[in-house]
Chains A and B, each alone.
Chain A
Amino acid sequence: MRRALLLTLALCASVSAFAGTGKIIIVNGDQPGVGFNDPTPVLPVGGNPGTTRGAQRLHVFQAAADAWSVLLETNVDIIAQATFPVIPGGCTADSAILGQAAPWSWQRDFTNAPKANVWYPIALANAMTGRDLAPGTPDIFVQFNSALDNPTCLGESGWYYGLDREKGIHSDLYVVVLHELGHGLGIAGNGTAPSFRDGIPAISDVHTLDLTTGQRWDQMSAEARSQSIGNTGNLVWDGDNVRLNTFRFLQPVTTLTITEPSTLARNYDIGTAVFGPSPSAAVLSGEIAKALDAANDDGPSTTDGCTAFTNADAVAGKLALVDRGECTFVVKARNAQAAGAIGVIVVDNRRDTCQPPSMGSSSGDGGDITIPAISVTQDDGSLLRSVNGARGTIRTDPSQLAGTNQNYMRLYAPCTEEPGSSTHHWDVNASPNLLMEPSINSDLLHGLDLTLYQLLDIGWTRPQRSGRRSYNR
């Protein structure tokens, strides 16, 4: 009890030092000797000056909090209740729970609330009213798993505590904390999507738009939202700040543009190959021809492209359409090339995904491939197979950015049960990768990219006191 009281006083003192600055304050909720208080001696790493493991963890958390603090206006301290324990049962040799975060609570119908009957994350509600609406409670919950630093957890991969992105095989804690604080600041729902707490939408739901129906989630029934959550490519973020700034962070999409027949005319998502010329480097137009080959031991279907095409004359000079499966992507491309095709389109053979596969060659085979190879989903492939004489162009489309639809940012809305999903992320087609994609990719820079603009859309403002800071990816 005495120890607890001393710890309490210490916590109060540390928080008071920042009172009224409107910053994100990391409150260390760990017990002595563990988590942020782990006394294990370590050497400073990658710009992190901590000399104990606990100090390095806390330094990374505060650095991530500071990155957000300078960009968001509030005169109410944002209290992030943080712990870094060994999460019970949270790790095996090849899988782990890394961390978790959420707004500590949600508030609605408060003074100055921009919209009635809408949940706002408590930190944002406080900022909007200029008062602490939930005194005595934190604003953000965040917890990370220190088990990763044990070699029995997730193989040889642990946390990287440097701030210089030199993480090697490890997980960059700074990036994951940036991502999770984004959720804690409001890129989240009050209820597991697509459900609403008490039947009332969160502010992020008000910005979630289904382009197919033209309705936002707050305008839909629960049943309609259940359909919408799997409307890949058509569930988007409706907010001016994001829409007007996508060009700053995304590159034009490489796509298959179908021009004929008009009923199919649009851009189609594609997967690319590690072998052959990049489809983004060339504009390649032609008729789409359904390739046929023998049904044999190499491939039991006449459309799998696993052996020499039997209709080479019909494929020559065109974009060959083959099905995925039974043999490698390289073999299909090689057979298409031998038949005189100018490119090959591989139709995915899986119904349980809505992302075209990326085509690899782990053996290094494929150095002889000189035509571009792309993939499309099974649904899109079925459309292409349903007509004769379709014409398409494989190209980089300067009018569309990767990860957008009609200039809206696409949200992650897997059409079926993708392993791992949450709507409060960008679609994985965004390129370059963004901080708030669900897979927190290893090539992320240490920037906040579109996440800041998403927060501005839900009602955060930027500081006036020091002028607008510019920032980069």
Chain B
Amino acid sequence: MSRRLLVAFASLALAAPLALATEEPARLPLRDSLVRMAPRVDLTQLFARLGDGRSVETADGVNSPMSAMELVVARIGPDGKVTMACVDNAESARRFLTAPAERVALRKAQDQ
């Protein structure tokens, strides 16, 4: 039971910083939203949480906190369809999000 109690507290602790950001923006017509949206998604917060913890001796072995994450990012391609990529670092994510549109569709056909 103690494990679950601590898990629950961990859940709350993790969720707390996000609470400030969980209000959805007002729904806007798409055309307006295209004008108003920021041009880039913000990756810094996502990876900033990694790498701070140290490995520690435990009663049975050594434990290390997560130091990498797999992150799924998506873009709308020139054909209007969503293309996804799963990456494990901020630089790869940035490359995907900022590359020329035709480069992100690894298997989509091009005319020339």
Contact = CB atoms under 8 A, between A and B. Distances in A.
A376 interface: no
Contact of B81 (A15, A327, A361, A442): A442
A81 B63 contact: no
Contact of A7 (B4, B12, B66, B76): B12
A122 B66 CA distance: 10
Interface in B82-104: 82-89, 92-93, 95-99, 103-104
A254 to B, nearest CB: 14
A180 interface: yes
A424 interface: yes
Interface in A161-198: 169, 171, 176, 179-180, 183, 188-193, 197-198
Contacts of A215: none
B70 interface: yes
A97 B61 contact: no
A328 B40 CA distance: 32
Given A100-B70, A359-B109, A8 B87 contact: no
A95 B75 CA distance: 4
B1 A133 contact: no
Contacts of A155: 30, 76, 80
Contacts, number: 324
A274 B109 contact: yes
Given A8-B12, A155-B76, A419-B96, A103 B88 contact: no
A89 B38 contact: yes
A362 B12 CA distance: 50
B60 A131 contact: yes
A180 B70 contact: yes
A89 B45 contact: yes
B60 A100 contact: no
Contacts of A34: 19, 22-23
Contacts of A279: none
A190 B19 contact: no
A124 to B, nearest CB: 13
B40 A92 contact: yes
Could you tell me the dominant secondary structure of chain A's interface residues? loop
Given A188-B68, A198-B64, A419 B99 contact: yes
A152 B109 contact: no
Chain A contact-residue range equals: 35 or more
Contacts of A220: none
A399 B2 CA distance: 55
A8 B9 contact: yes
B48 to A, nearest CB: 12
Interface in B15-62: 15-16, 18-19, 21-25, 27-30, 33-34, 36-43, 45-46, 55, 58, 60-62
A428 B83 CA distance: 13
Nearest to A94: B76
A157 B76 contact: yes
Interface in A83-109: 83, 85-109
A438 interface: yes
Contacts of B15: 29-31, 83, 85
A425 B33 CA distance: 34
B61 A108 contact: yes
Interface in A433-460: 438-442
Residue of A19, A90, A324 contacting most chain B CB atoms (<10 Å): A90
A81 B7 contact: yes
A111 B58 CA distance: 12
A88 B40 CA distance: 12
B21 A110 contact: no
Interface of B: 1-12, 14-16, 18-19, 21-25, 27-30, 33-34, 36-43, 45-46, 55, 58, 60-76, 80-89, 92-93, 95-99, 103-104, 106-112
Given A102-B68, A190-B66, 14 more contacts: A7-B8, A89-B42, A92-B37, A95-B73, A96-B73, A106-B64, A108-B61, A119-B64, A136-B3, A137-B6, A180-B70, A360-B109, A363-B111, A439-B86
Closest 8 CB pairs of A and B: A89-B42, A360-B109, A420-B85, A136-B6, A110-B61, A420-B96, A29-B11, A419-B99
